A and B are shown apart, each in its own frame.
Chain A
């Protein structure tokens, strides 16, 4: 009796120790050689103060921070402080993101941003303290996180909040509280509305813009009579693509939506394959990306695949299915983490590795890209008259003109109030090339020139 009980306990311990041993596997470096890179200047501030309206420095009353963009501090709460969240040596930023739940894969964004913030030169003598909270992609929790932080530790600004429903849930609140909510990490076009919501702006290439780019590419490069099939994830994200694609001037012969919680998308791909279209666009993200690519690669249907740029990460989405991703086109908006010959990319990788994070895994690298954008805008604001305060921050945001070192070569990050309310409007089509013999990861090859529709998309509602 005793013995068998002991045996059982031992067996459980054995199993648990195996599980514990599994813990170590994630920290493996992919063993990339660290080149001797030049330390590129951290001061990416560049020129700014674009079209400031000359009111420079004003922080009270009705202020036109940019074209068509008016902020009236009288509408702000009575205890509003344009320098809230700032101390002599720190800038407090906040983000609420899903660290658990269905899109937990995005949970590493804040870590990536922090890794960059810890490395960069202080802005005006201040370092950035990024406070983050988990909302499990539940808008109710996003709301309560924001309410909490407004009460307990009011940040200078909020940044890169994730999820269209989540941001929609809090947009009115942050507007009422005159809290800058910058660069929402969703491509929903409604964020480009400075006339009505001057305190918030989007930070990703709009899904509609990306879909437009796809349409343009198809019409120009593949042929106007090319038949197109489309797969959309059935949620805010995928359906944003759908709206634009259905209005495009292309021959859409078949389109299918799939349940975001579905175990796989094989039957959807079969339906699309039956159409034998020349092109297929994958307006989906996460696990379905590699699933769809694998299913298509192995079928007798050989369309040109165009993939959402949210699945851009090679290590995450292409490596597991190599070489099935060959030839897939993506409208990239930034340099990829695997571009080891690019000094800026290497700098980002080093920053991540210093922080103990694997640059090829998860969303850490993307966090660094975001971190650069935040840094740029903060520096621009700090150089304005009056120094760093929320009004200058919004001036810098709505009059942006900088380059992100991890962005595309030749890409610009510009805004101009209501004439150009979108920050990221440049993309470069790239084609995936699977790893050659001896290589671990594939890479992207640019196709054509960078497409820059800077300033062409205006803003929502004029």
Chain B
């Protein structure tokens, strides 16, 4: 029983962190229907901003994170304006390539600036457990992360459904041309999408490295990206709540399935995740909660 709970809590913990990065990916996808390879690296950059603000400038942690979110949003706005806006949003290929290029560039630059030694990121949540039984520990960190993700999702859903900005966003993501015809300016709205997604990414990054078990270094994002992308895919690329579901499922698969099924070696966690995705996508090709794409002839 103890082991079961321990694995359950592990799965929730890692699942929550996958989910929050997946939410950032989904936001970009909703806005632009493209997958942003650079999202993970931007999140990593944001986590470094938070680190610098908190540790070197001595700003209180939560404030530092908020500032980092704003900073990275600004950076994203600039990026969108300079690198993305010149292209036709309907044409995906150049945009995908640009994000791929950004992925490589940011990855490299972070390594060159900050080196690869691990650093300790300040704790966002109290250390220790909310509840524990032997080795099964429901940590404050897990609870805190889940709570943050839930609050984030609620806020985002409210934003998208109830505000004017959100309405514009939804219009643009649903039909770019028509929304232009009714007066929604695609450029600034997409830029808003980028800013929002990057800010969420920074928050996700801070959450990820604030885990007492993890340290901050420039390579964390490239290790997590594939899992977060898998979570987004699993839940449906255009579904925010789907990202949460996908993340949790993936986390649980990793800890429970791999842990309990003997013939799956532990180091095949990623393989198990890929297999899970394939199975789910075969049944529901748009992810669990994604909307079906209508193909026009």
Which residues of A approach B to under 8 Å, CB–CB? 8-9, 11-12, 14-16, 18-19, 22-23, 25-26, 100, 102, 104-105, 107, 234, 256-259, 261-264, 266-268, 270-271, 273-274, 276, 287, 290-291, 294-295, 298-301, 315-317, 319-321, 361-362
Shortest distance from the beta carbon of B287 to any chain A beta carbon, whole Å: 22
Q: Give the contacts of B48-98 with A (CB-CB under 8 A).
A: 48-49, 52, 56, 71-72, 74-75, 77-79, 81-82
17 A-B pairs within 8 Å (CB atoms) are namely: A11-B78, A23-B113, A25-B56, A259-B268, A262-B270, A263-B208, A264-B14, A266-B10, A270-B3, A270-B7, A287-B118, A287-B220, A298-B127, A298-B139, A299-B137, A362-B115, A362-B116
CA distance in complex: A270, B119 (Å): 23
Cβ–Cβ < 8 Å partners of A361 in chain B: 115, 117
Q: How far is the CB of B196 from chain A (nearest CB, A)?
A: 16
Distance, CA A19 to CA B14, complexed state (A): 29
Interface of A: prevailing SS: helix
Question: Is the beta-carbon distance between B75 and A12 smaller than 8 angstroms?
Answer: yes
Which of B74, B111, B224 is in CB contact (< 8 Å) with A104? B111
Residue in B52, B108, B269 whose CB lies within 8 Å of A25: B52
B267 within 8 A of A: yes
Minimal beta-carbon separation of B110 from chain A (angstroms):
9
Contact assessment for B71 and A274 in the assembled complex, using a CB-CB cutoff below 8 Å: no
Q: How far is the CB of A266 from chain B (nearest CB, A)?
A: 5
Instruction: Find out whether the CB atom of A263 lies under 8 angstroms from the CB atom of B7.
Output: no
Tell me, yes or no, whether B13 is within 8 Å of chain A by CB.
yes
- A-side contacts of B163, CB under 8 Å: none
Alpha-carbon distance A22/B114, docked complex (angstroms): 8
Please tell me if the beta carbons of B74 and A15 are within 8 angstroms of each other in the complex: yes
8 Å CB contact of B115 from A14, A26, A321: A26
B70 to chain A, nearest CB (A): 10
* Residue pair B120, A321 in contact (C-beta under 8 Å): yes
Instruction: Identify which of B6, B49, B78, B211 contacts A274 (C-beta below 8 A).
Output: B6
Q: Which of B179-213 contact A (CB under 8 A)?
A: 208, 211-213
Over the window 1-35 of chain B, the binary record of Cβ atoms lying under 8 Å from chain A Cβ atoms (1 yes, 0 no) is 01100110011011000000000000000000000
- Set of chain B residues within 8 Å of A271, measured between Cβ atoms: 259, 266
Q: Point out the residues of chain A lying under 8 angstroms from B120, CB to CB.
A: 319-321
- Given contacts A100-B108, A257-B265, A299-B137, A287 and B115 within 8 Å (CB-CB): no
> Which of the four size classes fits the interface of chain B?
35 or more
Please indicate the chain B residues that have their CB under 8 angstroms from the CB of A267 in the complex.
Answer: 7, 10-11, 14, 254-255, 258-259, 266, 269
Which residues of chain A are within 8 angstroms of B13 by Cβ–Cβ distance? 266
User: Chain B nearest CB: distance from A99 CB in Å?
Assistant: 9
Q: Evaluate contact between B3 and A274: CB separation under 8 angstroms.
A: yes
Closest to B260 in A: A271
List of A residues within 8 angstroms of B296 by Cβ: none
Assess the B266–A256 pair: CB atoms within 8 A: yes
B220 touches A258 (CB 8 A): no
Question: Bound state CA distance, A281 and B192, in angstroms?
Answer: 49
Q: Which residues of B contact A262 (CB under 8 A)?
A: 223, 267, 269-270
Which chain A positions have C-beta within 8 A of B267?
234, 257-259, 262
Known: A267-B255, A290-B215. A258 touches B77 (CB 8 A): no
A-chain residues with CB within 8 Å of residue B259 when the two chains form the complex = 267, 270-271
A interface footprint on B100-143 (CB within 8 Å = 1, 0 otherwise): 00000000100101111111100000010000101101010000
A363 and B82 alpha carbons, distance in the complex (Å): 38
Taking a contact as CB atoms under 8 Å apart, the answer to whether B135 and A270 are in contact is yes
B15 to chain A, nearest CB (A): 11
Would A263 and B74 be within 8 Å (CB), given that A22-B52, A258-B267, A320-B118 are in contact?
no
Q: How far is the CA of A23 from the CA of B115 in the complex (A)?
A: 10
Given contacts A11-B77, A258-B266, A298-B137, 13 further A-B contacts (CB under 8 A): A11-B78, A18-B49, A22-B114, A234-B267, A259-B269, A262-B223, A262-B267, A263-B227, A266-B213, A267-B7, A270-B10, A270-B255, A300-B135
Encode contact with A along B140-177: 1 for CB under 8 Å, 0 otherwise: 00000000000000000000000000000000000000
Check if B217 is an interface residue, CB within 8 A of chain A.
Answer: yes
Residues of chain A within 8 A (CB-CB) of B116 are: 104-105, 107, 362
Let me know if B276 is at the binding interface, CB within 8 A.
Answer: no
Question: Contact between A273 and B78 (Cβ–Cβ < 8 Å)?
Answer: no
- Considering only CB atoms, which chain A residue lies closest to B118 in the complex? A320
The residue on A at minimum CB distance from B271 is A259
User: A258–B267 Cα gap in the complex (Å)?
Assistant: 4
**Chain A residues whose CB sits within 8 angstroms of the CB of B82 once the complex forms:** 12
Q: A15-B74, A300-B132, A300-B134 are in contact. Are A263 and B224 (CB under 8 A)?
A: yes
**Shortest distance from the beta carbon of B65 to any chain A beta carbon, whole Å:** 15
Q: Do A298 and B212 touch across chains, with their CB atoms under 8 A apart?
A: yes
Shortest 6 CB-CB contacts between residues of A and residues of B? A12-B78, A320-B120, A105-B116, A234-B267, A15-B75, A267-B255
Expressed in whole angstroms, the Cα–Cα distance for A317 and B217 within the complex equals 12
In whole angstroms, what is the CA distance A102 to B107 when docked? 12
Q: Is the CB of B78 within 8 A of A15?
A: yes
State whether the Cβ of B219 lies closer than 8 Å to any Cβ in chain A: yes
* B71 in contact with A18 (CB, 8 Å): yes
Contacts of A25 in B (CB 8 A): 52, 56, 114
Residue of B with least CB distance to A23: B113
- Residue B214 at the A interface, CB < 8 A? yes
Contact check, B134 vs A320: say whether CB atoms are below 8 A apart. no
Taking a contact as CB atoms closer than 8 A, the residue among B11, B72, B81, B213 that contacts A264 in the complex is B213
| Residues B213 and A294 in contact, CB atoms below 8 Å apart | yes
